[in-house]
Structure 1
Amino acid sequence: MPDLTRTAKLALRDQLLAARRRIPVLELGEGARATAAHLLATEEVRRAATVAAYVSVSHEPGTGPLLEALAAAGTRVLLPVVLPGMDLDWAAYAGPEDLRAARGLLEPAGARLGVDAVAGADVVLVPGLAVGADGTRLGRGAGCYDRALERVPHGTFTCVVLHRGELLDAVPAEAHDRPVRAAVTPDGVVRLAAGS
């Protein structure tokens, strides 16, 4: 018998990825700047000494303006490095010139801090394709961020970065899926049920 949840996730991923490919480049840039402004205005990000984030690629919601603003403010930024087993190691962000291409992503070239480094972040920003009102995040299916979120202490501000239209009433969920406390789009930050 087919796994209906997994099939539903695949179908929703296909739909969301197709919609992302139709977003004009100008809109991507404007969205990245608006998203950064909303995150930088949150108390959690303003007070954070360390933020775990990621470098957006292709039609993902842009993180470049946010990374630059955090670095300029003196915030320590950790970026993921994908390990062969699809877990995430972390390294400090040292600017765009320090990034290197790996597996279709951009990763920091600096010293690795270990898979548990994410546990020391005050804020954890994660990629996703959609999120439900209960905080269930739909990722790309490799489980990298579910593993990372397992290491994040309860109560840490975890937020998925999305485009408009990717906040849904519900997304298909499996037992290994880890919820997030908030979502940010170019329209603002939304607190989710997982944060209550």
Structure 2
Amino acid sequence: MTDEVGDAKRALRAELRQRRRNQTSTEREQATTALTAHLVDLATRTAARSVSAYLSAETEPNTRPFLNWAFAHDVRVLFPVSRPDGLLDWSVGDGESETRGLFGLPEPVGELLSPMAINDVDLIIVPAACIDHGGMRMGWGRGYFDKTLGSMEKRPPVYAVVFDSEYVESVPRERHDMPVDGVVTPSGIHEF
């Protein structure tokens, strides 16, 4: 990583974290309602019977109402579980029990499946710090999803979830960064 790109990413991540912390509860609730409708539409439109998604942390766009919908509609949900070696294991959560993972992020309690388990899903929903108009994803700097997506031989559609202000003109980019097929924001679904 060049220092210049790394510095630009660090500065942008700090700004985005602060912006997320400054959101009002009303803004968050409105965003959650809209995001949930779009995620349900996406899962329905793609006829996904199995999805990979994540348990949103407090300041992230809230995926939990969508996950509740998935459980209620017998859509199998695979959740990432961070490993110290930089790979992701997966778990089929029960939608109720969770713990704090390696980086203090919420993770499901359940049987651990290997990194290969993601190869069986119909749709992948990933977190992001921001997404640019060309589909380039900037994550939070640990590279877990870039490694996972980059190693998949045949990957299903991948959509990131961000707030409207995080869908931007361009993001600092490095060779290992992986693009997504679409982004879900409170204002809609954008495909690349």
Counterpart for residue 162 of structure 1: 162
Give, as a single letter, the amino acid of the residue that structure 2 aligns with 1:69: W
Please list, as runs of the form range in 1=range in 2, the aligned pairs for 1:77-156 lying within 5 A after superposition: 77-96=77-96, 98-102=97-101, 103-154=103-154, 156=156
Deviation string 1:3-54 (CA, Å, 9 cap, x unpaired) is 2111111111111111111111232122122111112112665501110000
SS at match of 1:56: coil
| CA distance in 1 between partners of 2:170 and 2:98 (Å) | 35
Instruction: Tell me the equivalent position of 1:36.
Output: 36
**Displacement after TM superposition at 1:186 (Å):** 0.8
Question: Paired residues, what number?
Answer: 190
SS in 1 for 2:166: coil
| CA deviations over 1:65-84 (Å, ceiling 9, x no partner) | 01000110100000011111
Q: List structure 1 segments (4+ residues) > 2 angstroms apart after TM superposition.
A: 42-46, 151-155
Question: Would the alpha carbon gap of residues 155 and 113 (structure 1) be closer, same or farther in structure 2, given more than 3 Å must change?
Answer: closer
Q: Deviations over 1:109-159 (max 9, x none)?
A: 111111111121110000001011121111110001111212444462100
Checking the alignment, whether the CA contact within 8 Å between 2:53 and 2:126 is kept in structure 1 is: yes
The 2-side partners of 1:43 and 1:28 are apart by: 22
CA displacement, residues 96-121 of structure 1 (integer Å, 9 cap, x when unaligned): 2x211223111111111111111211
- Tell me, yes or no, if the aligned pair for 1:54 and 1:125 is still in contact at 8 Å: yes
Residue 43 and residue 161 in structure 1: after superposition, are their counterparts in 2 closer, same or farther (change >3 A)? Answer: closer
TM norm structure 1: 0.91
Query: TM-score, normalised to structure 2's length?
Result: 0.93
Q: Is contact 1:45-1:123 (8 Å) kept? A: no
CA shift digits 1:144-186 (9 cap, x unpaired)? 1111212444462100000121111110110110110000111
1:12 aligns to what? 12
Q: Using the alignment, how far apart are the partners of 1:147 and 1:74 within structure 2? A: 29
Q: Which amino acid aligns with 1:172?
A: P
Distance in 2 of aligned mates of 1:53 and 1:153:
19
Fraction of identical pairs, as percent: 34
Counterpart of 2:73 in structure 1 is 73
Residue 180 (structure 1) aligned with residue 163 (structure 2): no
- Which segment is superposed worse, 83-92 or 99-108? 99-108
SS of the equivalent of 2:90 reads strand
